Amino acid sequence: MVAPDSPHNYPGTLGNRPIAVNFHAGSHYVGLRLLEGYLPKGKIKLVHYGSPVQRFESMLNGEAAAAVVMEPWITLGEKLGCKTVAEGHYLGAENASEDMDEETFAAINRAVENAVDLINADKRKFLHYLIDDPSFAAVAAKYGGLTPEDFHLPRLRYTKPAVYTDEMVEDTYNWLTRWNLLSDEACAADLVDNRIAEPASADD
């Protein structure tokens, strides 16, 4: 996302320009994936700004040429006239420590599945959780705030937990090592422990 008066209208002009992300988090990885289709590796200049508000405001004030942000910051930016030059989606997941028992983790996954059904049935009903989040609300207020009607609902995608396939793990591992974000001494098979049980058959 770039500021309203930015000369940039697509990712290919952002070469050697500072782009605000949070290193080793979703904005970092998505930023690289979106930009590498337009720019050679040496021209991608991601800069660590940390939290969404820091990234957002660095873009607005011109300190960074662009910022990688997620909702509700995207909607706030669009309401202010900011331009989206590229958009991507990444897979969110519930994580658990190795010592969490299976019963507890299964209960967490059931809760997530129920939440997915409820949210997808009426997304606007639950948008107040994004709008009222303390880390967002105070900042958004000085820019006029948001209402549920401001959001582009198709951007909000909620899906039920699913296993990571071997292909997904291998592709992600190869991508991470290519960008030197993971040591090539690591074993892909050691990085993911799928704990979601396969669905029971109709005969069970």
CATH number at residue 36: 3.40.190.10
119 domain-assigned = no
84 domain-assigned = no
Helix (H) or strand (E) holding 140: helix 134-141
Whole-angstrom distance, CA of residue 31 vs CA of residue 22 = 10
pLDDT, mean of residues 141-168: 93
138 domain-assigned = no
Tokens of 30: 């998505």
62 domain-assigned = yes
Q: Pick the range with the lowest mean pLDDT from 41-55, 114-128, 140-154, 173-187.
A: 173-187
Q: How confident is the model at residue 196 (pLDDT cuts 50, 70, 90)?
A: low
Q: What is the pLDDT of residues 22-53, one digit of tens each?
A: 999 999 999 999 999 999 999 999 999 999 99
pLDDT higher than threshold 80 for residue 191? no
Whole-angstrom distance, CA of residue 79 vs CA of residue 77 = 5
Relative to beta strand 18-21, strand 45-48 is parallel
Helix (H) or strand (E) holding 46: strand 45-48
pLDDT higher than threshold 90 for residue 164? no
pLDDT higher than threshold 50 for residue 127? yes
User: Which amino acid makes up residue 90?
Assistant: Y
The CA-CA-CA angle for residues 23, 178, 43, to 5°, reads 65
Question: 65 lies in which domain range?
Answer: 11-79
Return the pLDDT at 102: 85
Return the pLDDT at 188: 67
Whole-angstrom distance, CA of residue 114 vs CA of residue 183 = 37
36 domain-assigned = yes
190 domain-assigned = no
pTM above 0.85, yes or no: yes
Return the pLDDT at 200: 41
Whole-angstrom distance, CA of residue 178 vs CA of residue 113 = 34
The 10 Å Cβ neighbour count of residue 77 is 22
pLDDT higher than threshold 60 for residue 199? no
State how many domains the chain has. Answer: 1
Average pLDDT, the chain: 91
pLDDT, mean of residues 43-68: 97
pLDDT higher than threshold 90 for residue 186? no
68 domain-assigned = yes
Return the pLDDT at 192: 78
| Edge-to-edge strands, sheet with 18-21 | 45-48, 18-21, 66-67
Whole-angstrom distance, CA of residue 89 vs CA of residue 30 = 8
65 domain-assigned = yes
Query: Of all residues in the chain, what percent carry a pLDDT higher than 70?
Result: 95
Secondary structure of residue 45 in the 3-state scheme: strand
> In 105-117, which positions are buried (b, 16+ CB within 10 angstroms) versus exposed (e)?
beeebeebeeeee
